[in-house]
Amino acid sequence: MHKLGRGSRDKVQQFMAITGASEKAALQALKASDWHLEGAFDVFYSQPQIAVANTRHLEELYNRYKEPDADMIMVEGISQLCNDLQVDPQDIVMLVISWHMKASTMCEFTRQEFIGGLQSIGVDSIEKLREKLPSLRAELKDDQKFREIYNFAFAWAREKGQKSLALETAIGMWRLLIAERNWSLIDHWCQFLQVRHNKAISRDTWTQLLEFVKTIDPQLTNYDEEGAWPYLIDEFVDYLKEKGLVQHRR
């Protein structure tokens, strides 16, 4: 740091404050973009692997949690990890972490997912990860990221080899995710699914529900029954009307 001029030093610090990257990563990104901050952000975010945390540390961490007889972190390892992070395994932040790891299945991390994920978060120890938790949690507030995490959750939570998501899991995931959105109809939705549907949830329904939650107000005044809402959502609207939970229009 001392070799740098004042202006450059400020930029490095600014960069670190915004991205939360290490000094080394900041220097790399800034050098790569000829000391333009904006350019450096682009570089940094497009190649998260720049934020190379110490791979050796990550290997050690991985080995701490991995199954003794398989090259993979399974339920045991994950609950250990949660313990170390002092979070509940049901905490939504674990979903955010899994999203960063691009985990393909719930309760499982492969070596690649685990190490790649922590690298992209930019940490190489449990302590650092724990410190990161608030900012990871904050990512849920970002609309775009929330949508990605939400859509990620579908594939992540479904059973291997299945096209759709088991109803119970879906309801669990919705309760977890939609809680972030304060959707007043969530209880009715879950109840409706159990009473009327009682089948697995397709990806389309899953994706469209978020749209529904985001765009349609709870009184359904802007709901268009001619629209392309999935069948299940139409049925839900009928259910709400039938139960007198919302006013009929016209």
Partner 1 sequence: MATHERKTIDLEQGWEFMQKGITKLKNILEGKPEPQFSSEDYMMLYTTIYNMCTQKPPHDYSQQLYEKYRESFEEYITSMVLPSLREKHDEFMLRELVKRWSNHKVMVRWLSRFFHYLDRYFISRRSLPPLREVGLSCFRDLVYQEIKGKVKSAVISLIDREREGEQIDRALLKNVLDIFVEIGLGTMECYENDFEDFLLKDTADYYSIKAQSWILEDSCPDYMLKAEECLKREKERVSHYLHSSSEQKLLEKVQHELLTQYASQLLEKEHSGCHALLRDDKVEDLSRMYRLFSRITRGLEPVSQIFKQHVTNEGTALVKQAEDAASNKKPEKKDMVGLQEQIFVRKIIELHDKYVAYVTECFQGHTLFHKALKEAFEVFCNKGVSGSSSAELLATFCDNILKKGGSEKLSDEAIEDTLEKVVRLLAYISDKDLFAEFYRKKLARRLLFDKSANDEHERSILTKLKQQCGGQFTSKMEGMVTDLTVARDHQTKFEEFISSHPELNPGIDLAVTVLTTGFWPSYKSFDINLPSEMVKCVEVFKEFYQTRTKHRKLTLIYSLGTCNISAKFEAKTIELIVTTYQAALLLLFNGADRLSYSEIVTQLNLSDDDVVRLLHSLSCAKYDILNKEPNNRSIAPNDVFEYNSKFTNKMRRIKIPLPPVDEKKKVVEDVDKDRRYAIDASIVRIMKSRKVLGHQQLVMECVEQLGRMFKPDFKAIKKRIEDLITRDYLERDKDNPNVYRYLA
Per-residue burial over 158-169, b if 16 or more Cβ lie within 10 Å, else e, is beeeeebbebeb
Element (H, E) at 73: strand 72-73
Which residue, 117 or 230, is less far from partner 1 as judged by CB?
Answer: 230
**CB burial of residue 246 (10 Å; 0-12, 13-18, 19+):** middle
Which residue, 156 or 212, is less far from partner 1 as judged by CB?
Answer: 212
Which residue, 128 or 203, is less far from partner 1 as judged by CB?
Answer: 203
Give min distance, CB of 207 to partner 1, in A. 8
Give me the amino acid identity at 236.
F
Which residue, 37 or 200, is less far from partner 1 as judged by CB?
Answer: 200
Give min distance, CB of 7 to partner 1, in A. 41
Give min distance, CB of 144 to partner 1, in A. 12
Element (H, E) at 156: helix 143-157
Using CB under 8 A, list all residues that contact partner 1: 163-164, 202-205, 207-208, 211, 226-228, 230-231, 234
Which residue, 169 or 207, is less far from partner 1 as judged by CB?
Answer: 207
Give min distance, CB of 234 to partner 1, in A. 7
Give min distance, CB of 70 to partner 1, in A. 32
Pairing of strands 109-110, 72-73: antiparallel
Q: Three-class SS of residue 91?
A: coil
Which residue, 69 or 224, is less far from partner 1 as judged by CB?
Answer: 224
Give min distance, CB of 103 to partner 1, in A. 23
A 10 A CB-CB count for 85 gives 19
Please state, in angstroms and rounded to a whole number, the distance separating the CA atoms of residues 97 and 149: 10
Listed residue (110, 203, 190, 189) closest to 154, CA to CA: 203
